[in-house]
Structure 1
Amino acid sequence: MKIKEFRTQFIQELIAIFGEDEAESFFYLILEEKQQLKRIDLALQPDLTFSEEEILMWNSILEQLKLEIPVQYLLGKTSFFGLDFEVNPSVLIPRPETEELVDWIIKNSKSQVESAKIKILDIGTGSGCIAISLAKNIKNAQVFAIDISDKALATAQKNAEINNVEVNFLNQNILETTDLNQKFDIIVSNPPYVRNLEKQEIKKNVLNNEPHLALFVEDNDALIFYKKIATLAQKNLTQNGELFFEINQYLGQEMIELLGKMNFKNIELRKDIYGNDRMIRGIK
């Protein structure tokens, strides 16, 4: 069967669930990963075909996509901040909004003295995307990362090796931590922040497949992780050290108030590419 013909069929079967643009993007992602072919190759060689075995493999992926299993889990990998990351159901799939947070930290660190060592801690590291991207892009950084999940940490460690960076990973429950036992220049976290009342806004492919431990908090204590991490940051940041968070888009004002009450200065709330309040920084 010609690949171009299969492409049309593949997209048609997914349009009702994902829309044409996303269905087409899935096709080319899989084509590059599984066949090492790009969109241009198909344009230049319109008579390329799939073998029967390849069609079976593609149909298997198609059926899983119809069940709204994320394409990144099906491929076992994704891209974040220009780097390759392995992903699986024990870690969240990195989001474009989080890339914006990483970019903010990197640009901010480059305005500081480049010769000095910068100690960075990523709390709730998951796949390691934040910690690894910072280690890769801030040459004078010594990066530490903690998570409560052994499986997540194993994935993060593998991702550090894939990207040839050194990150010090540690299994730790941040809610039970009273002291981080060393000083950091930067603490960053993208903790669970989706309230149960917001579950209806979450896409089915996320809700049914990604780890709830990394996503949800109780409605009556939505800032539980932020309060705890901010408390630890006051104890374990260096003077003028910076605390960065990715946040719930509906709780920007509450986060400004929280950091203000905890004596952080120069508090800055930023919007993401979609115009939502998404990240905040405070200075000790």
Structure 2
Amino acid sequence: MKIKQYRTQFIKELSSFYDAYEAESFFYLILENKHKLRQIDLALNHELVFNPSDFAFWDVILQELKKEVPIQYLLGKTNFYGLDFEVNENVLIPRPETEELVEWIVKENAKTDKTKTLKILDIGTGSGCIAVSLAKNLPNAKVYAIDVSKKALETAKRNAINNKVEVTFLLNDVLELEELPYDFDIIVSNPPYVRHLEKEEIKKNVLDYEPHLALFVEDHDALIFYKKIATLAQDNLFKNGQLYFEINQYLGKEMIDLLEEMEFKNIELRKDIYDNDRMLRGSF
């Protein structure tokens, strides 16, 4: 069968689950990952065909997509901040909003004195997307990363190796830490922040397949991770050190109030590409 014909069939079979644009994007992602063919290759050669053996692979992928398994998990990887990252059921799939957080940190620190080591800690690293991206883009950075999940850290370590950066990974539950192992210039975290009351807003592909440990907090204590991390930062940030958070879009004011009460200064709240309150920075 010609690939162009199969493309039409593929999108039609997914029409009950995804809109045409998303189904088409899945098709081209798989085509590039499995066959090393881009959309432009198909556009320039309408006669390209699949081998009979290819259909077994595509059928498995198609059936999993009908169950709404995330395409990134099916491919085993995703792109984040221009780098490839392995992803699996043990880690969250990195989001574009988190790329914006990384971009903020990189831009604000790219012009620092290159002879000075910039010590950075990423708390709740998951796939390592923040830690690895910062290590890759800030050559003078010494990056550390903490996570409570051993399996997540194994994934993050592979991502550091594959992207040729050095990151020191530590297995810790931040809620049980009395102090951090070192002092830092920057502490960054994208901790669990979705309240259970917000579950109805979460898509099935996230709710059914991504790790709840990294997603949800109790409704009555939604800022539990932020309070703990900010408390640790008070003792473990160098003078004028920076604390960066990705936050729940509905709790921007509460987060500003929290950092103000804890005597952080130069507090700035930023919106993401979807115009939601998403990133917060303070210095100490």
State the one-letter code of the partner of 2:184: F
- Work out the CA distance in 2 between the residues paired with 1:123 and 1:13: 41
Question: Which residue is 2:270 aligned to?
Answer: 270
Which deviates further from its counterpart, 42-51 or 136-145?
42-51
Paired residue secondary structure (1:279):
strand
Show the 5 A alignment for 1:9-88.
9-88=9-88
TM-score by length of structure 2 reads 0.99
* Structure 1: gaps (5+ residues): none
Question: Which residue is 2:125 aligned to?
Answer: 125
Deviation (angstroms), 1:141: 0.1
Question: Which residue is 2:212 aligned to?
Answer: 212
- Work out the CA distance in 2 between the residues paired with 1:82 and 1:219: 35
User: Identity percentage over the alignment?
Assistant: 67
Deviation (angstroms), 1:112: 2.9
Question: Which residue is 1:160 aligned to?
Answer: 160
- Work out the CA distance in 1 between the residues paired with 2:9 and 2:37: 18
Does residue 103 (structure 1) correspond to residue 103 (structure 2)? The answer is yes
- Work out the CA distance in 1 between the residues paired with 2:80 and 2:241: 26
- Work out the CA distance in 2 between the residues paired with 1:125 and 1:268: 23
- Work out the CA distance in 2 between the residues paired with 1:112 and 1:48: 51
Deviation (angstroms), 1:59: 1.1
- Work out the CA distance in 1 between the residues paired with 2:187 and 2:181: 13
Write out per-residue CA displacement over residues 72-91 of structure 1, whole angstroms, 9 at most, x where no aligned residue: 00000000000000000000
- Work out the CA distance in 1 between the residues paired with 2:16 and 2:276: 27
- Work out the CA distance in 1 between the residues paired with 2:175 and 2:112: 31
Question: Which residue is 1:3 aligned to?
Answer: 3
Deviation (angstroms), 1:56: 1.5
Show the 5 A alignment for 1:192-231.
192-231=192-231
- Work out the CA distance in 2 between the residues paired with 1:108 and 1:16: 44
- Work out the CA distance in 2 between the residues paired with 1:105 and 1:95: 16
Does residue 242 (structure 1) correspond to residue 255 (structure 2)? The answer is no
State the one-letter code of the partner of 2:169: F
Write out per-residue CA displacement over residues 55-78 of structure 1, whole angstroms, 9 at most, x where no aligned residue: 121011001000000000000000
Deviation (angstroms), 1:178: 0.6
* Structure 2: gaps (5+ residues): none
Question: Which residue is 1:147 aligned to?
Answer: 147
Question: Which residue is 1:185 aligned to?
Answer: 185
State the one-letter code of the partner of 2:30: I
Deviation (angstroms), 1:111: 3.8
Paired residue secondary structure (1:18):
coil
- Work out the CA distance in 1 between the residues paired with 2:18 and 2:240: 46
Deviation (angstroms), 1:102: 0.1
Paired residue secondary structure (2:88):
coil
Deviation (angstroms), 1:15: 2.4
- Work out the CA distance in 2 between the residues paired with 1:113 and 1:14: 52
State the one-letter code of the partner of 1:57: F
TM-score by length of structure 1 reads 0.99
Paired residue secondary structure (1:31):
helix
State the one-letter code of the partner of 1:253: K
Paired residue secondary structure (2:53):
helix
- Work out the CA distance in 2 between the residues paired with 1:99 and 1:84: 13
The number of residues matched between the two structures is 284
Write out per-residue CA displacement over residues 251-279 of structure 1, whole angstroms, 9 at most, x where no aligned residue: 00000000000000000000000000000
